[in-house]
Amino acid sequence: MSTAELDSAPAFPASEATGDDKTTYPEWYSRVCADLSRLPTGAGGGDRLDGMRAVLTRASRMWNNGQVLTCAFVKNAGSAIQQAKVISVAKEWERYANIKLDFASAAKNPLDAIIRISFDPRLGTWSTVGKDALHPREGRATMNFAFLFNTPTEAIPEERRVILHEFGHAIGYLHEHQSPRRGDKLKLKEEVVIYWAKETQNWTEDETRRNILNVYNRYEVSNYSTVDLTSIMMYYMPAQLNEQEIEMRPNYELSALDKAFAFLNYPFLGGLSSSDASQTLDNALNTIGVTGKFRESITAEFDENDWRGVRAEFTRWALNAKAEASKKEAVAEREAGAEVGVQTDS
């Protein structure tokens, strides 16, 4: 995303429904987040992961395992209470991913931090994705919160959801509602979504497609074998906006799949372990459903303390799972077409 696009990032002010609202779902738009994903498809390193894709994002966007991510609050830095909420909730990711969110080291020189956080209600809620945080102009925020309240002192569920979601982007997660596998469970009513976004956010059709409707490039992303509707990266959505009339309630906690994918992309190796004793390699593989030769290869790399190997083998499994699902879709479509042909002939 260009600097100009960053500067024009749409705002999502919190609001409540009134009789004058043009939509009965303004709260949906206050929960919308624009992930600022800008890495070109051709970018990447030359190591084992080159040309492979991580499950939620390109491997080249993800941080090295065990990386310390310095975090600090920059211009429009918010109150001490707002900052404390972010620190407390964000560090929950450390329980499931072998990374360190360091809010202390860059406190005196916040512009030197990797993740630079602001609280500007005019700019909406958004975050860069993984290593894209290294690209904005020097000193520019890489994450913004449009609303976090000064009371109470502990984060309420909606604030927890927003903080966990944005730091999910920061460690490399993309939007679950834009998964290439979204069609498995969810098909949006595009004209309705475009109309409401125009009426409530003054978005152009292009902005709505980019932030909500577009499915991530299938060659850029391998996602869950099926869409995780309980993921912290899933948007809240009223039933009227999708063909299946499925209401997506807000997800306030990390899902089992969120935790398992974090563990496999950022594994605890060499005697390290998650502070959540239930989070083990076997648990992560069981949760996701990895079996057979891929389970064996991931386990072998894990036993060798090779995080790149774990991530690469996990990626191979994800690509294979997507390929198998696509094959089943093609067969089902052919069979459906043949059935229609038989009925027509008769």
Tens digits of residue pLDDT in 127-157 = 888 888 888 666 688 999 888 888 888 999 8
- 195 with 139, same domain: the answer is no
Q: In the sheet that 115-118 helps form, which strands lie side by side, from edge to edge?
A: 34-36, 126-128, 143-144, 115-118, 68-73, 100-102
338, part of any domain: no
Measure the CA–CA gap between 342 and 282, rounded to whole angstroms.
Answer: 48
* 74, two tokens: 């920059």
Tens digits of residue pLDDT in 60-70 = 788 999 999 99
- 81 with 159, same domain: the answer is yes
The pLDDT, as a whole number, for residue 232 is 77
35, part of any domain: no
Q: Identify the CA nearest to 75 among candidates 15, 133, 143.
A: 143
324, part of any domain: yes
The pLDDT, as a whole number, for residue 194 is 87
How far, in whole angstroms, is CA 346 from its chain's centroid?
49
> What is the count of structural domains for the chain?
3
Q: Which amino acid is at 22?
A: K
Whether the full predicted model's pTM is greater than 0.85, yes or no, is no
To which residue do tokens 């990895």 refer?
290
* 244, two tokens: 């299946």
The larger pLDDT score, comparing residue 95 to residue 179, is at 95
- First CA to last CA distance, the chain: 54
51, part of any domain: no
15, part of any domain: no
Which residues have C-beta within 8 Å of that of residue 25, sequence separation ≥ 6? 17, 196, 238, 240, 241
The DSSP bridge pattern shows strands 115-118 and 126-128 to be unpaired
Measure the CA–CA gap between 346 and 339, rounded to whole angstroms.
Answer: 11
- 195 with 109, same domain: the answer is no
Q: What is the CATH number of the domain that holds 91?
A: 3.40.390.10
Tens digits of residue pLDDT in 87-141 = 999 999 999 999 999 999 999 999 999 999 999 888 778 888 888 888 866 668 8
Instruction: Print the domain residue range for 209.
Output: 174-254
* 89, two tokens: 């909730």
Q: Identify the CA nearest to 124 among candidates 26, 35, 42, 219.
A: 35
- 67 with 152, same domain: the answer is yes
Measure the CA–CA gap between 338 and 332, rounded to whole angstroms.
Answer: 10
Domain final residue pick, 123, 145, 171 = 171
